[in-house]
Structure 1
Amino acid sequence: MSKQLLAFEEIVTDKFLAERLQISENIQLYRIERLQMIENQPFCLEESFYLKKLVGTLSPEIAEKSIFEHLRVQKNIPSFSDKYLSVLLLPHDKAQVLKLEEGAPSLFVEETYFFADGRPFDYSSTYYHPDYAHFYLQSNN
């Protein structure tokens, strides 16, 4: 799997992101948008918002690789996440990137990642290409 970095910028939280990350508005975030490819075909389009004060310094070079691996090296171990899955019809801009028609169905995943102490550090939304997205979910009691 390869990653193509589409956007890397520093922004501040608005009301929506503040709610998702359980923080107040106007807090510094990294906004990172990446296209993940499998055999040169679009697999998913991911937009992530990392809480800068918890993840430390990120760079485009880190974002092109694995941000979570970078966090593990820094001893900031991601522990768990809350996932919300739905099927949406792709808006024009997302469809273009995934090489699909506007209105095509896509698995849409919203996810908030947490450290072991319960602090959220990342909110992500991901659109998956329907032809290449296959998932295996394991559940433990």
Structure 2
Amino acid sequence: MEDSIFRYLIEDLKLRPGFTDHFFRVGKLNKENAELLNLKTGDPTAFLESIYYLENGRPFDYSKILYHYEEAQFFIQGASNMEF
């Protein structure tokens, strides 16, 4: 793939992305994942598991990401049109 998966879905396949589920948790690294991040077994990490769906509810992408606890930074933007 040379370009955006979203552009491919929309322009080439005529499919529309719909929504995403994100599962975020904090835990300790096992040996295999610690080696991948150049950390020690048992060091803390953040895990993000994401599933992207089309408008019809069919999943099209699944990913798992591990974050290095000393290098991770997260930005969460809120909506300004919230009603109270």
Regarding TM over 0.5, the answer is: yes
- Indicate whether 1:90 and 2:24 are aligned: no
- Opposite residue 45 of structure 2, the aligned amino acid is S
Higher alpha-carbon Rg: 2
2:8 to 70, 73, 81: 73
Residue in 2 that maps onto 1:138: 77
Structure 2 residue runs of 5 or longer lacking an equivalent are: none
The root-mean-square deviation of aligned C-alpha atoms, in Å, is 1.9
Deviations for 1:19-59, whole angstroms, at most 9, x for unmatched residues?
Answer: xxxxxxxxxxxxxxxxxxxxxxxxxxxxxxxxxxxxxxxxx
Query: Greater strand share, 1 or 2?
Result: 1
Structure 1 residue runs of 5 or longer lacking an equivalent are: 1-61
> What does 1:15-26 correspond to in 2, within 5 Å?
none
For residues 74 and 47 of structure 2, what CA distance do their matches in structure 1 show? Answer: 13
Residues 83, 111 of structure 1: 8 Å contact kept: yes
> What does 1:1-141 correspond to in 2, within 5 Å?
62=1, 69-75=4-10, 76-140=15-79, 141=82
Moved more, 74-83 or 124-133: 74-83
Q: TM-score, normalised by structure 1?
A: 0.47
